[in-house]
Structures are given as C-alpha cells and as structure tokens.
Amino acid sequence: MNDMSDQELEPIANSVRVFSRVTPENKFRILTILKNSQIVAMTGDGVNDVPALTSAHVGVAMGSGASIAKDAGNIILLDNNFKSIISAVHEGRTIYANIKRMVAYLLSTNSGEVIIAISSLIIGIPVPLLPVQILWVNLVTDTCLVITLGLEPGEKRNMKRAPQSPNSPLFSRFMISRILLIAVTMAILTLSIYITMLESNSVDYARTIAFHSMVVMQWASALCYRSDYESLWQRIKRLSPRKIYLIYDISIT
C-alpha cells in the first residue's frame, strides 16, 4: 500500500472488505478515498486513530480509549461493544423515519382541511367543518394518532438501505406526491359526503357526518403512514389492539 498512489489505491479501497495491520497514515488515506463516494464511519481508541476519527463523517471512539481519541470522536462507546454501533444506527434510522411519517401525516391532514374550507367557499355552500371541530381534529385526533406513528418500532428494511446524504431533503418526490394524494382524497370524500347529507338533512347533521368522516379518514391515513413497503395486512397484524382501540376511542369521543 505504501508504494501505491491514491489513484491506484482507490479501486482497491472500494472493493476490498478487510485491511489488516494498516499504518495510521494509510488508515487516513483509505478513509479519504472512501469519503469521495461513501458515508464513512471510523472507530478507534488510540492516538494514532485521531486523524482518521477527525476526518470521518462519524468518528466512534471507545470508552476505554485514550482521552484525545474520545475528544476527536463524535460518539463514544461506553460499553466498548461494536454491536452498539449497529443498534445506534438502527435507532437513528427509526427515529428519522418516524419523524418523516409524523410530519407527512400532519401535512396531509391539515392540507385536506384547507382544501375542504377553500372548496366550500368556491362552491358557495356552508363550511363543512366549524372552527371548534377543526380545533378538535388538530388537538385531539391528530395528537393521538401522531403519537402512535412516533413510537413505531421501525421496519426490517431500515438496515438494508444505503446511508442518506446529510443534504438530502426530508421528503422525496414520492412522499410529496403521497401527501398531496391523501390530502386531495380526504377533501373530495369529505365534501362529497357533506353535500350528499345536505340534500336531505340539516346543516348541523351534515357537519356532524362530515366531521366523523374526516376522523375515520385520518385513521386510515395513519394506518397508511405506518410503513412505506409493507402490505396492508402486515400493517394491521402489527397493531396492538388494546392501545390502538383506546387511542381511536379518545380521538372520536
């Protein structure tokens, strides 16, 4: 390795899985080469690992290592167990995915309410949802359902995905289109039910039906956001009946 240039070492560094007895200088060279195309983490416990720990995207120092190595690292493994790194990555990816689900769910629900209000004004009919009903939806139903999304245990595919760039947007085009599709669907169904009820019932009765329809569609939306890959049956199987029934009861009572 000492006799190779960086250009000669690059294809080797990207294809070989294990290097042994590497000098501190070559550790830094390998890490620098991998950083050109990969998200790189470095583990170390000694003074000779400091340059690589500092240069890596994520530096992981051992709790029993030298103080300067712990100062250079972003993360310190207090138990000196490499398995903790895997657990931390899985937990981080789960939290990130759950935050995306929560924000996407709230955006789709609130966008649906906005579309409903604007559409009713354009059509020239009484507003389907009164302010107190919208307040209830936002404070009670949304809160109860978004908590369950934030506590999802994570999908099995979490650890099979490639690392995301730190500069990547929160939502992909697929997720944005999904938010818009759910918002428009909720608005169309709620308005259709409301207009149908208005034809033969009072405004208050129609608003009550529209409100309940909106809540039921929020349940369906929360179920959809539980996963990006699993089938509907798999999502239902992972439900905890006692907890989910309690939350749904609170959201509709």
User: Could you tell me the fold of the domain covering 89-252?
Assistant: Calcium-transporting ATPase, transmembrane domain (1.20.1110)
**pLDDT, the chain, mean:** 84
Q: Is the pLDDT of residue 184 over 90?
A: yes
**Domain boundaries in the chain?**
6-81, 89-252
* Per-residue pLDDT at 106 exceeds 70: yes
Share of the chain above pLDDT 90, in %: 19
pLDDT above 60 (res 12)? yes
What pTM does this model have?
A: 0.75
For 203-249, how does the pLDDT look when each residue is reduced to its tens digit (9 = 90+)? Answer: 999 999 999 998 888 888 888 887 777 666 666 666 655 555 455 44
Residue 25 banded pLDDT, cuts 50, 70, 90: confident
So what's the pLDDT on residue 118?
Answer: 92
- The CATH number of domain 6-81, selected from 3.40.50.1000, 3.40.50.970, 3.30.465.10, 3.40.50.300: 3.40.50.1000
Tell me: pLDDT of 15 over 70.
yes
Question: What does the chain look like in DSSP terms, one character per residue?
Answer: -TTS-HHHHHHHHHH-----S--HHHHHHHHHHHHTTS--EEEE-SGGGHHHHHHSSEEEEETTS-HHHHHH-SEEETT--THHHHHHHHHHHHHHHHHHHHHHHHHHHHHHHHHHHHHHHHHT---SS-HHHHHHIIIIIHHHHHHHHHT----GGGGGSPPPPTTS-SS-HHHHHHHHHHHHHHHHHHHHHHHHHHTTS-HHHHHHHHHHHHHHHHHHHHHHTT-SSS-HHHHHHT--HHHHHHHHHHHH-
pLDDT value for 244 = 52
